[in-house]
Structure 1
Amino acid sequence: MADVLQLSAAQVSRDLMTQAIIILELVASNSLPLDQLRIQAGLQHREHFRRFWLEAFLNANWIKRTIPDKPTSPAQKYRLTATGQRWLNQVHKSRNSNFPPRDGEAGMAK
């Protein structure tokens, strides 16, 4: 598990990191079905999304199925795990410490 949490922006391209954050934040607030998650993440190709993103996140235990014993159920949804939440927290903490707030963000003196 520790090696999963060790991923950093230096190890993953900025675009992939940003896309991973978007996907994980979507399932952090709601349990979502595959197609809704893909569309809200701004991705078009269902099979690529399933094979590249969904399977990787399931294998890393960053997301989980709401119906684990029926992975192909039409009612299947996905949600963030505690491991995924820790990774997101670590990324946000790292980004916040490396970059000053932008205009209009909390902590910005006027």
Structure 2
Amino acid sequence: MAKADKKPRIRQSAPLAPTKAKSPAVSNRRSRSVFGRWLRPLAPLLKVLRWLAPRYFVNAWREVRQVTWPNRRETWRLTLAVFVFATIFGFAIFGVDKVLERIFKETVLK
């Protein structure tokens, strides 16, 4: 068994001969390499985004399907409740504003 461990497992190939003339494909690769150098630091982020983006939409759709949507009657009832609350709150703010305005005019501007 010890002899089997000493055998090389991967053969090394001969080195490639350098090319003499540049082909148009090399110049295209060079222009792409500038873009590649710019994107290289972002590669891990892009890999994560490619994984997360589809999952986000799948999970969002799953959540939308789980929602119990109100029927028409409940929708109108809740809409009316919002309008009533907003009106009451508006009158309350109006009253507080008028009281503070009167106090300000009597104390500061007198």
* Fold shared by both chains (TM-score > 0.5): no
Shorter chain as denominator, the TM-score bin is under 0.3
TM-score, scaled to structure 2? 0.20
Bigger Rg, which one: 2
Larger relative contact order (Cα-Cα within 8 Å, sequence gap ≥ 6): 1
* TM-score normalised per structure 1: 0.20
- Structure with more helix by fraction: 2
